Amino acid sequence: MRRRAQPWLGTLVDISILDALPEPSLQAAFQAAFAVIREIHEVMSFHSVTSDIACFNRAVPGATLRMNPHTISVLAAAQELNQQTNGIVDIRIGSRLAACHFLPGTNAVAIPPYETGQQAYALLAQGQVKKLRDDWLDVGGIAKGYAVDQAIAALQTVGVQHACVNAGGDLRVLGLHEIAIRDPQQPTHIAHTFELQNQALATSAMYFSRKKVQGVWHSALFDGRTGTSLDSMKSYSVIASCCMLADGLTKLVAVTQDSRHPSLDAYKARAFIV
């Protein structure tokens, strides 16, 4: 097995390739996978002033922006998840994340208020997006999973058959792999191990993101229906066919505390709470 790791997407992305490939083919595979991860990071980072997301957040309502195909794919998936989860998964949560100091605000522009049950954008033809209202998007809750999926696709394109791409606990495997889940009460310890085959797994937990804001505990997980932050010492994992869906659906499970929520069936996903 050969492994490489690089810092992208606000975490350390670890890629393992188990195939016995010639060294040039192996290096080409790593390069292809990290290249697509880097592109997705650059076009969807909340922090980069040149990203599609930052440009959208700066734009005035009514503006039309042309975006990268990767961004369009994630925005389309976010709309579907928002509808399927009745508003629980909502990438408009960027303003709430900034208000609670999980994302940077700006001194030049006031953080827009978060209003529930709204649509911030409309997807138009030819890769264009219309901004409908003054909202800040943050796609971190599903873009990391999407990047994992695209890295897996890049590995498959160059012939890799056995691999794992892991972006801070959001992962997808080719072939059969043993996967470990942290104990949320003791994050340095392992709670469970199991085998995953040609599937994706995402886990959301609050043990690394909890902080006090004005005397109240908050985490980086929010209920899109209310804009309120969650505070729990559990972890929420979803197994699905792709990592983007698994990543998004962990928020549904965290909010509802329901590992058998009907929306999981719509995606043929399964969940567990630790």
Residues 183-214 pLDDT 10s? 887 888 888 898 999 999 999 987 777 777 77
pLDDT higher than 70, residue 106: no
For residue 60, give both structure tokens: 């005035």
> Residue 172 — very low, low, confident or very high, per pLDDT cuts 50/70/90?
very high
Percent of the chain predicted with pLDDT > 90: 79
Mean pLDDT, all residues of the chain: 93
pLDDT higher than 80, residue 161: yes
Residue-wise burial string across 103-113, b where 16 or more C-beta atoms lie within 10 A, e elsewhere = beeeeeeeebe
Residue-wise burial string across 124-138, b where 16 or more C-beta atoms lie within 10 A, e elsewhere = eeeeebebeebbbbb
Residue 109, pLDDT score: 76
CATH topology of domain 59-138: T-fold (1.10.3980)
> Residue 44 — very low, low, confident or very high, per pLDDT cuts 50/70/90?
very high
Residue 108, pLDDT score: 59
Q: How far apart are CA 124 and CA 144, in angstroms?
A: 24
Residues 74-97 pLDDT 10s? 999 999 999 999 999 999 999 999
Tokens 């208020």 -> residue: 113
Residue 39, pLDDT score: 98
Residues near 92 by beta carbon (within 8 Å), at least 6 away in sequence? 114, 118, 120, 135, 136, 137, 224
For residue 242, give both structure tokens: 């792709």
Alpha carbon separation from 90 to 78, 126, 143, 168, 226 (Å, rounded)? 7, 24, 13, 21, 10
For the chain, domain boundaries: 59-138
pLDDT higher than 70, residue 107: no
Residues 233-270 pLDDT 10s? 899 999 999 999 999 999 999 999 999 999 999 999 99
Q: How far apart are CA 173 and CA 47, in angstroms?
A: 29
